[in-house]
Amino acid sequence: MTILKALLDQRRAFAARGLKLNMTRGVPCKEQLELSTPMLHITDTSSRGIDCRNYGQLEGLPEAREFFAGYLNSVYEETVVGGNSSLSLMHDVIAHARLRGVPGDTDEIWRKQCVFLCLGPGYDRHFTICESLGINMLPVRMTADGPDMDQVRSFVQNKSVVGMWLTYPYHNPTGITYSDETLRALISMKTANGGFRIFLDKAYAVHDLTERRARLLDVRAESLKCGTQDRVFQFCSTSKITWAGAGVCAMSASPTNVAWFQRWLFAQTIGPDKLNQLRHVRFLKNMEGVYGLMAEHRKILRPKFDTVDKVLRTCIGQTDIASWTTPEGGYFISLEVEQGCAKRVVELASGVGVELTKAGATHPYGRDFEDKYVRLAPTYPSLIELDDASEVIANSVHIASIEKRENRRVVP
Amino acid sequence: MTILKALLDQRRAFAARGLKLNMTRGVPCKEQLELSTPMLHITDTSSRGIDCRNYGQLEGLPEAREFFAGYLNSVYEETVVGGNSSLSLMHDVIAHARLRGVPGDTDEIWRKQCVFLCLGPGYDRHFTICESLGINMLPVRMTADGPDMDQVRSFVQNKSVVGMWLTYPYHNPTGITYSDETLRALISMKTANGGFRIFLDKAYAVHDLTERRARLLDVRAESLKCGTQDRVFQFCSTSKITWAGAGVCAMSASPTNVAWFQRWLFAQTIGPDKLNQLRHVRFLKNMEGVYGLMAEHRKILRPKFDTVDKVLRTCIGQTDIASWTTPEGGYFISLEVEQGCAKRVVELASGVGVELTKAGATHPYGRDFEDKYVRLAPTYPSLIELDDASEVIANSVHIASIEKRENRRVVP
């Protein structure tokens, strides 16, 4: 009983301090945003004879298309550069598919009852797009190498399975990078529906937390080799490179897919904000410029991830009530607690002023059936705040697990 | 025959000069874009404690929502500020309606076979949205006061009629401003479908070509008075105030409509580019700031419209083969030629290097059954170019009309 008393005393001490910390979302901190301050002073308006202030360039500024073709390991013609949100681009591709169907989907399943494969845990905003557009979600197990391919291979035998979400590298929220073998299997596998599409979110392509750069499979080359070049849409943005709210997004897809999307895009806009695209290209210059900037981000972020890990190790490292990832990239730590405890952990932490991502948010329909995943987003708070927050989390995990064992609430 | 010979001699002279002029689209000229150069140097990133570089503010930056509430004659809560394209906002509202239906449309007609009322002549990009989203278009006659209300009242007795496009003030391309009476009738009329929506494009709300400001009906107040507050969506952008490619757009709609749209918006994005919204608000400041800037635009544009009018008057003003508008605002002159001659005029002008908007583009499905409307866009070319272009247009109108009378081609 002394452990519980100590935990409750600690909890009372937290409460007395009136903490107000937010770890809900993968949001860059102020210091990260400051890294791109020079971009504010770029006043170029012209690129290769194109006045970026005027209408036009539906698929993006040529300079920007070149830049993002490099970023996405693609080619100019297959790269489209958009506004400030890759989520919008993903959403719009899928909305377009729902309204108009996609090439290869002979039975037009995309326009009817259709299904996406969704990794759990995964990114809640991907799931929101599916829900919003009336697409059913089928959870897929996660292995150390990525999606469980036995499950996936079996699911795609069904024509109603039209899509799948992936985050590559550094899966959100577990931080793992799918193995080449798994990715190759996803690219080459037979699918019942010729309109099956993979939505590959490269949100963290250059967001390494160690000196080692993520070595990525050349998805486009691999798809061409397998004759499945229409299968994968790749997406990225500079939201976590320059500015989360004022960045630039891009996508890469086969000529067939790009031509298909252009028809929608033509109805939707006269063209993207090329001035912001130009600012970005002039500021980032090339991939070495990007990696240079990401090294500065790493200097800010690495200590934050280390702090959470250190505090959790100190407080609950010796127990078997929780485990967590030590990601080599991305924006999240995935905390795995005892079955049936995740919701309670989030609730307990909130009770003393530490807001965490809603338990379940990492799963399709917000339903984590085992109730054991908690996503931690350490990028926004300061180191001192993270120290406090991590202690609160450890304390909450501990209390929740005692409550589970004793089958009673020890905190009202 | 001497007139024809003179016209053909003149045409040969044009051809010899190798003109290359483009009057196809309502695009601002370089001098207009330069007016907003100070905006390039605005480096503010923060607004009332909101870091505009970061995520958030789904409905737009509060400062920007206030600004556009003023612009649209609406209120803060009913105003949503977006990215660089009001066309996108219109498109997305309608795509959303197609996928999800709208409040009040009890039979869910929006999701099935549905119809929009479209003024001919009208704005081709409005029509493109309908075509792209599989919405049928029913042409409505234009009177001097706006849409022919007898036709409209009769059409909206049909439940399948779910929407209508309007450009107010300064209708594209005729430049007329609908009368208060007509607009009131549109707002108050009974419609069979409770989900009937009017898409009011205020693209030229402050784009006066004379000293007299367009006096606009308070659409929101009028709708509230009639109990039809869910009927009208209002849209605008700064594309023709600051920069056509890098501006900011906004919409105003009833609380019911805004809440309905927010659900889609939440799935589509984490938030708009608030940095560009902040730049705009700081640069334009308020409505007086906007009108001050528009006076500078007018200094550039007015002589261009006058030049076209003057040349046309000199060349074909004494004939009855054409008439054209002298708009008090907006971006276009609408040229009306003899029945069956519009396509030929565009073709003849193109033959000597003057590109005009495709004949028919001003009508739903690109079909001007009378083949008599030609849209002239005088904003982009220089005064000297406009002088040449207008002579070519007059010459082409003249030749086309002779060809019609003689029922033979005089130019191969």
Interface probe with B: pick from A29, A133, A269, A379, most Cβ of B within 10 Å? A269
In angstroms, what separates the C-alpha of A203 from chain B's closest C-alpha?
14
Both A273 and A169 in one domain: the answer is yes
Pick A245's closest partner by Cβ from B52, B87, B99.
B52
Task: Tell me which residue in B55, B95, B246 faces A99 most closely, judged by beta carbons.
Answer: B95
Do residues B89 and B144 both lie within one domain? yes
Classify residue B33: in a domain, yes or no: no
At residue B1, the pLDDT reads 60
A contacts of B64 (beta carbons < 8 Å)? none
Total number of domains constituting chain A: 2
The answer to whether the beta carbons of residues B349 and B20 sit under 8 Å apart is no
Judging contacts by C-beta atoms under 8 Å, the chain B residues touching residue A283 are none
CB contact under 8 A, B55 and A244: yes
A412 CB-side CA count, 13 A: 1
CB pairs under 8 A between A and B: 151
- The three-state secondary structure class of A229 is coil
Residues of B in contact with A95 (CB under 8 A): 95, 99
Distance CA(B115)–CA(B101), nearest Å, equals: 14
How far is A18 from chain B, CA to nearest CA, in Å? 22
Q: Which of B235, B258, B284 is the last residue of a domain?
A: B284
Out of A84, A132, A133, name the one closest to residue B273 (CB): A84
Query: Which residue in A327, A335, A272, A259 sits closest to A96, CA to CA?
Result: A259
pLDDT level of residue A10 (50, 70, 90 thresholds):
very high
Instruction: Say which of B134, B245, B274 has its CB closest to residue A271.
Output: B245
Interchain CB distance below 8 Å, B246 and A52:
yes
Q: Which residues of A touch B266 (CB under 8 A)?
A: 128, 132
Give me the amino acid identity at B114: C
End-to-end CA separation in angstroms for chain A:
17
pLDDT at A1: 60
In a domain, A37, yes or no: no
Contact B245 A83 (CB under 8 A): no
Based on the fold, state whether residues B120 and B51 are members of the same structural domain: yes
Out of A43, A83, A268, the one facing B91 most closely (by C-beta) is: A268
Last residue of a domain, one of B236, B255, B284: B284
Among candidate residues B133, B117, B273, B331, the one with its CA nearest the CA of residue A266: B133
Burial class (CB in 10 A: 0-12, 13-18, 19+), A234: buried
B271 and B342 part of one domain: no
Asked if residue A240 and residue A328 are part of one domain, the reply reads no
Q: Between helices A219-226 and A180-188, what is the axis angle to 10°?
A: 40
| Domain span holding position A169 | 42-284
Mutating which of B54, B58, B112, B124 best tests the A interface, going by the most A Cβ atoms within 10 A? B54
Which residues of chain A are within 8 Å of residue B244 when distances are taken between CB atoms? 53-55, 270
Domain boundary among B284, B309, B338: B284
For residue A271, pLDDT over 80 is answered with yes
Residue A291 lies in a domain: no
CA dist A279 → A30, A58, B30, B80, B207 (Å): 20, 18, 19, 26, 29
User: B257-279 pLDDT, tens per residue?
Assistant: 999 999 999 999 999 999 999 99
B297 and B170 co-located in one domain = no
Half-sphere exposure of B135 (CA within 13 A, CB side): 33
Task: State the smallest CA–CA distance between residue B55 and chain A in angstroms.
Answer: 5
A267 and B133: CB-CB below 8 Å? yes
Residue B36 covered by a domain: no
Q: How far is A333 from chain B (nearest CA, A)?
A: 20
Nearest CA to A171 among A192, A197, A140? Answer: A140
Q: Which residue of B has its CA nearest to A37?
A: B43
In this predicted structure, the answer to whether residue A235 has a pLDDT above a threshold of 80 is yes
Residue B47 and residue B126 in one domain: yes
| Secondary structure of residue A39 in the 3-state scheme | helix
CB contact under 8 A, B28 and A54: yes
Domain membership flag for residue B164: yes
Name the residue among A41, A85, A246 with its Cβ closest to that of B43: A41
State the CB neighbour count (10 A cutoff) for residue B282. 17
Q: Chain A closest CA to B41's CA: distance in Å?
A: 7
Measured between alpha carbons, how far is A105 from A12 in angstroms, rounded to an integer? 59
CATH number of A89's domain: 3.40.640.10
Of A56, A245, A275, the CB nearest to B55: A245
Regarding whether B331 and B205 lie in a shared domain, the answer is no
Q: Is residue B261 in some structural domain?
A: yes
d(CA B118, CA A407): 66
| Per-residue pLDDT of chain B in tens (412 residues, 90 and over written 9) | 689 999 999 999 999 999 999 999 999 999 999 999 999 999 999 999 999 999 999 999 999 999 999 999 999 999 999 999 999 999 999 999 999 999 999 999 999 999 999 999 999 999 999 999 999 999 999 999 999 999 999 999 999 999 999 999 999 999 999 999 999 999 999 999 999 999 999 999 999 999 999 999 999 999 999 999 999 999 999 999 999 999 999 999 999 999 999 999 999 999 999 999 999 999 999 999 999 999 999 999 999 999 999 999 999 999 999 999 999 999 999 999 999 999 999 999 999 999 999 999 999 999 999 999 999 999 999 999 999 999 999 999 999 999 999 999 999 9
Measured between alpha carbons, how far is B112 from B323 in angstroms, rounded to an integer? 41
What residue has token string 């010459």? B395
Q: Supply A67's token pair.
A: 């830049």
A-chain residue closest to B240, CA distance:
A54
Helices B86-100 and B255-268: crossing angle in degrees, nearest 10, is 90
Q: Which residues contact B317 (CB under 8 A, 6 or more apart)?
A: none
Cβ of B99 within 8 Å of Cβ of A134? The answer is: yes
Residues B337, B264 share a domain: no
Residues of B in contact with A27 (CB under 8 A): 54-55
Q: Which residues contact B408 (CB under 8 A, 6 or more apart)?
A: none
Please tell me the predicted confidence (pLDDT) of residue B2: 87
Nearest to A273 among B99, B271, B276 (CB): B276
pLDDT of residue A259: 98
Q: What is the CATH number of the domain that holds A358?
A: 3.90.1150.10
pLDDT score of A2 more than 90: no
Q: Which residues of B touch A262 (CB under 8 A)?
A: none
Closest Cα in chain B to A264: B132
User: DSSP of A322-352, one letter per residue?
Assistant: EEE---SBSS-EEEEESTT-HHHHHHHHHHT
Q: Of B30, B53, B134, which is closest to A246 when you measure between CB atoms?
A: B53
In a domain? residue B34: no
Looking at residue B345, what is its pLDDT? 98
- H or E segment at A259? helix A255-268
Indicate the angle between helix axes B287-316 and B274-284, nearest 10 degrees: 80
Q: Which long-range contacts (CB under 8 A, 24 or more apart) does A62-69 make?
A: A63/A277, A63/A278, A63/A281, A64/A248, A64/A250, A64/A274, A64/A277, A64/A278, A64/A280, A64/A281, A65/A250, A67/A280, A67/A281, A67/A284, A67/A286, A68/A236, A68/A248, A68/A250, A68/A252, A69/A252
Residue B37 within any structural domain of the chain: no
Q: Which of A273, A278, A331 would best serve as a mutation to test chain B binding (most B beta carbons within 10 A)?
A: A273
Q: Do B91 and A45 touch (CB under 8 A)?
A: no
CA neighbor of A244 nearest in space, from B277, B249, B81, B56: B56
Q: Which of A24, A32, A34, A53 has the most B C-beta neighbours within 10 Å, making it the best mutation to test the interface with B?
A: A53
Instruction: Point out which residues pair with B233 in neighbouring strands.
Output: B199
CA distances from residue A184 to A155, A164, A229 in whole angstroms, order as listed: 17, 15, 13
Tell whether B352 and B257 lie within a shared domain.
Answer: no
Residues A278-301 have a mean pLDDT of: 98
State yes or no: ipTM above 0.85: yes
Residue with tokens 């009476």: B181
Q: Where are the beta strands (DSSP E) in B312-360?
A: 322-324, 333-337, 354-356
How many angstroms away from the CA of A373 is the closest CA of chain B?
A: 23
Answer whether B273 sits within 8 Å of A83, measured CB to CB.
Answer: yes
**Closest alpha carbon within chain B to A60:** B245
The one-letter code for the residue type at B394 is A
Task: Give the residue from chain B lying closest to A35, CA to CA.
Answer: B53
Cα of A297 to nearest chain B Cα, Å = 15
Interatomic CA distance for residues A68 and A238, integer angstroms: 10
What percent of chain A is predicted at pLDDT more than 70? Answer: 100
Contact yes or no for A246 and B87 at CB 8 A? no
| A132 to chain B, closest Cα gap in Å | 6
Q: In terms of domains, do A208 and A319 share one?
A: no
Beta bridge partners of A147: A142
- Which two three-digit tokens encode residue A376? 């931690």
**Chain B residue numbers touching A270 (CB-CB < 8 A):** 85, 87, 125, 244-245
Instruction: Give every CB contact of residue A28 below 8 A, 6+ residues apart in sequence.
Output: A240, A244, A297, A379, A380, B54
A169 cis-preceded (ω within 30 degrees of 0): yes
Interface touch B244/A270, C-beta < 8 Å: yes
Asked whether the beta carbons of residue A52 and residue B276 sit closer than 8 angstroms, the reply is: no
Q: Are residues A269 and A303 in the same domain?
A: no
